[in-house]
Structure 1
Amino acid sequence: MELEVMKKLIRKYEPGHTRFSLRAMQAERYYRNETDILVKDKLTDEKEKEEPDNPLRNADNRIPRNFHGLIVNQKAAYMFTAPPLFDIGNEHGNEVVTEVLGDEYRKNCMELCINAANASVGWIHYWEDEDGTFQWAVVDSKQIIPIESHNLKKKLLGVLRMYDEIDEETGDTYAIYEYWDKESCWSFRRKNGDTLDDGLFYYNTFMVPDTGDFTAEYRHEFGEVPFIPFPNNNTNTNDLKNIKPLIDVYDNVYSGFVNDLDDIQQMIIVLSGYGGTDLNTFLSDLKKYKTIKVDGDEGSNPGVSTLSIEIPIEARNSALEVTRKAIFEQGQGFDPQPENFGNQSGEALKFMYSLLEMKAGLTETEFQLGFARLVRAICHHEGIDCKKIIQTWTRTCVKNDTEQAQICKDSVGIVSKKTILKNHPLVEDADAELKQLEKEEKEAQEKADAYAGAFDASKNSTETDSNEKADAEQ
């Protein structure tokens, strides 16, 4: 790839990607429970400038609630605690696919789901290492710019990957650009602070196996761009968009309530005949001593009374309750309130998970296409024939295991044993369970045969002794 062509691609796609990255970073910040309540806005700063010494308004509690992190983790755990299983039609191929996916398969699925929930899309990159082994990993979505065709299929024509790297020799930070297509990858880099026109150069980072030299081009034989997108839903939006205003309202109301408790006393002593000098002195004495000074002039009637300032607790509790409910409704999550649980039937529990199931269904529809591409890439690399891929997805949620086990028991003789085992609450791997059952049946049969053989031998021995005894008597 020519250097000028790469510069044109960067100029065309980088500005839009910057906006995408800002939205993703905001969602990741909320996922870490670093909401906007922790950042002082302009209104608060102006208010502090106007009233810098207001003794009744000193509290500045900023308490975030991690609703976004909770809802995202709910979806990730609900969908991928038991990650999807793949059946390509032959047992050997299934074993190879499982082996290539590796021990980190479940963890990568979780990370992929969280990335998609925060950035609106997750990405997987696969490659071949020095030993010729198929490798794959989840890539930070903020690093990826997809180059797609303009037809209805929107085929992935290339991927522009951008990330920062520190030169260990000089300590300088460089922006690395990689452009991947269906045949090769070209690498470029630019020192931070340099312009694109003057600072972008080829980056010789790939080693040639035969010579040991380094080059800026890497050739692969996958026949397609080795990146796979996993959209979060059908609208390509993240999970924060619908609930961010509600989370901000909840944080503001709750933090304001705590500030009121710190600033305003429940009971204030009022002394008739106050002899203070000005309002600031009055507020300072009230805040510091919980009392004020009065003058007992002639004709005056100094006295002491109390003034109770009521905080609208009921109104705030109502606002918090309504806002919390709206957050889980708009975010399509499961509100983990203790009063929602109990001795619920299986159908009642399913209804409680209905919103989460709707959102998971949209994500699953998009993820199925991505996982199908990954499995086909593995099969292509391993030389395995792969036509139809059957994906089995399992939800992890609170459920009535007794009821589910009874359903499986009642289904014996109606559906296959494998289907029953797949839906049994105690079985995680139906294929392994089938093998274990066959092994136990075989061992039981061998024991039965051994017992029957021993019984027949004992019977024959008894009959022989009886015959010999009869012959002797004769």
Structure 2
Amino acid sequence: MDSQDLFIVQEYIKEFLASKERKLMLDGQLYYENEPLGIEMPHAFMTNLVDEKVQYLLGKEPSMTSSIDNSSYLDEVINVLSDNFLYDLQLLGTETSNKGIAWEQLYFDEEGILKRMLIPSEQIKPVWVDNSHRELKWVIRIYDIEEYTNNKKETVTKVEVYDSDKSYYYILDNGTLKLDSEKYLQLNDNEEFGHFTIDGKQYSFGRVPFVFCKNNACEMPDLKMVKELIDAYCHNRERLDKLLEDFKNFLVVIRNYAENPENAVSLDEMLEKRRIWVDTDGGVELVNPTIDTTANESHDNTLKDDIILFGRSVDRNKMISGNTPSGVALKTLYSGLDLKCNKLEIEVKNYFNQLMWFIKSYLEVKGVRPQDKENLSIILNRDITMNESQVITDCKNSVGVISNKTIVANHPYVTDVDEELRQIEAENAFNWQEYVKQLKDDNEEVEV
């Protein structure tokens, strides 16, 4: 990079490391792990909120579809995504929920197979071409590693910069970028780093080698809407816990008992043995304190309701109240979660489209190309709580109105849509009437 670009990168790094945006990312991870800073009695609200959302939207294997029937190209794409795609999607969904945006880096392994690596979002400073944050100019990655210099362990801050053609490697030293000279020893003279190496030569994707998944259009983490509410709830519970701890079962009021070190020791012993000796003009009174926790509990319940409301979660108390909701009531109960997941679903599909650009380029190099006008898409199968009998009835009533694949995908007993369709096709091809006739003929021959 030239000196002007290098200065710009330094400024971006300085701004990002000190930004509220990155601080909220780090807080999002801590709250999800139930280890928020400054809170002695944490409550795992964010763990529940994020896991509920991810499992609801990404808990079931997604369906890959092609505009062409029996597409061999679709099979190739699924093979590139590998059997771990659902697991990768759940990691991606958790990361973007906690931090507002998630990043995967594209690379080739030692066998030349295209792979993806999830990078912690607090390490990534994107530089966008447009204000809507759709196209990348650079991706700057900042991360710390531990190295030994003269038998002494030191923390070194590495910086990697990626554009559409090249990669650049630096070390951040007191806010100044210096070339990572040890890294560049791997190159031949006058050679620059591309995005990957094949047979000792540098190659590039022709695009910044990262794909992103936003949590929503504003790249806002889920924590932002409920952080102060969670803090208030935790601090309130802490205060009540300390108050209860400070109050003993009773207070002892002693009259005419002189305060001196000797008496203090003997009094402690008497209290421990629950026997107190007093003079004729002395006396002991036990006072049982009372604590009014009604207002405290009311405040806690209000905070919990607000966390559920603004966190767009499902109120489980209404699910177990004895009257299990169904139909419109069930949809209303899930409306907040659906609204939150609708936004993430749009972003996941955008992520898939970005990923397909790299997969398509990779398969083209292998000589595998889609058919003319063939388009691939992803369908996220939500793990919806439902009245199964009603859904099955709705599926029956939809025959002839919508496609059989859509009906099968929404049937509550189906876990693998493509496998179910193959099974239906096999059963429809089987001549049941001929099979029954053959069984009847066999039985008659045995009787004779």
TM-score (normalised: structure 1): 0.78
Q: 1:195 to 1:303 in 2, by over 3 A?
A: closer
Q: Which moved more, 1:307-316 or 1:417-426?
A: 307-316
1:86 matches 2:73: no
Q: Matches of 2:422 and 2:177 in 1, distance apart?
A: 64
Q: 1:108 aligns with which of 88, 112, 118?
A: 88
Q: Is the 8 A contact 1:276 1:293 kept in 2?
A: no
**Higher Cα Rg: structure 1 or 2?**
1
For residue 189 of structure 1, report the CA deviation from its aligned partner. 3.1
Q: Which moved more, 1:214-223 or 1:391-400?
A: 214-223
Q: 1:454 to 1:102 in 2, by over 3 A?
A: closer
Q: Is the 8 A contact 1:182 1:222 kept in 2?
A: yes
For residue 105 of structure 1, report the CA deviation from its aligned partner. 1.0
Q: Matches of 2:91 and 2:277 in 1, distance apart?
A: 64
Q: 1:126 to 1:315 in 2, by over 3 A?
A: same
Q: 1:121 to 1:448 in 2, by over 3 A?
A: same
Name structure 1 gaps, 5 residues minimum: 39-61, 462-474
Kindly tell me the number of residue pairs found equivalent between the two proteins.
Answer: 423
For residue 86 of structure 1, report the CA deviation from its aligned partner. 3.0
Fraction of identical pairs, as percent: 25
1:144-159 alignment runs, 5 A limit: 144-150=124-130, 155-159=135-139
For residue 195 of structure 1, report the CA deviation from its aligned partner. 3.5
1:175 matches 2:157: yes
1:38-437 alignment runs, 5 A limit: 38=39, 62-90=40-68, 91-150=71-130, 155-167=135-147, 172-190=154-172, 194-197=173-176, 199-204=178-183, 216-218=193-195, 219-273=202-256, 275-276=258-259, 296-297=280-281, 302-337=282-317, 339-340=320-321, 342-383=323-364, 384-385=369-370, 388-437=375-424
Q: 1:244 to 1:454 in 2, by over 3 A?
A: closer
Q: Which has the higher contact order (CA 8 A, sep 6+)?
A: 2
For residue 340 of structure 1, report the CA deviation from its aligned partner. 4.4
Q: Is the 8 A contact 2:270 2:276 kept in 1?
A: no
Q: 1:270 to 1:215 in 2, by over 3 A?
A: same
| TM-superposition CA deviations, 1:38-83 (whole Å, max 9, x none) | 4xxxxxxxxxxxxxxxxxxxxxxx3211101110111111111124
Name structure 2 gaps, 5 residues minimum: 196-201
Q: 1:230 to 1:293 in 2, by over 3 A?
A: farther
Q: Matches of 1:371 and 1:454 in 2, distance apart?
A: 51
Q: Is the 8 A contact 2:138 2:163 kept in 1?
A: yes
Q: Is the 8 A contact 1:270 1:291 kept in 2?
A: no
Q: 1:223 to 1:246 in 2, by over 3 A?
A: same
TM-score (normalised: structure 2): 0.82
1:29 matches 2:30: yes
Q: Matches of 2:379 and 2:182 in 1, distance apart?
A: 43
User: Which residue does 2:199 correspond to in 1?
Assistant: none
For residue 348 of structure 1, report the CA deviation from its aligned partner. 2.4
Q: Matches of 1:287 and 1:69 in 2, distance apart?
A: 49
Q: Matches of 1:458 and 1:206 in 2, distance apart?
A: 82
User: Which residue does 2:198 correspond to in 1?
Assistant: none
Q: Matches of 1:233 and 1:183 in 2, distance apart?
A: 29
Equivalent residue of 2:391, what SS?
A: helix
Q: Matches of 1:16 and 1:63 in 2, distance apart?
A: 33
For residue 416 of structure 1, report the CA deviation from its aligned partner. 2.9
Q: Matches of 1:150 and 1:391 in 2, distance apart?
A: 26
Q: 1:340 to 1:17 in 2, by over 3 A?
A: farther
Equivalent residue of 1:204, what SS?
A: helix
Q: 1:137 to 1:309 in 2, by over 3 A?
A: same
**Amino acid aligned to 2:114:** F
Which contiguous aligned blocks of 4+ residues in structure 1 show a shift greater than 6 angstroms? Answer: 211-215, 290-295, 453-459
What is the alpha-carbon root mean square deviation over aligned residues? 3.5
Q: Is the 8 A contact 1:274 1:292 kept in 2?
A: no
For residue 207 of structure 1, report the CA deviation from its aligned partner. 5.8
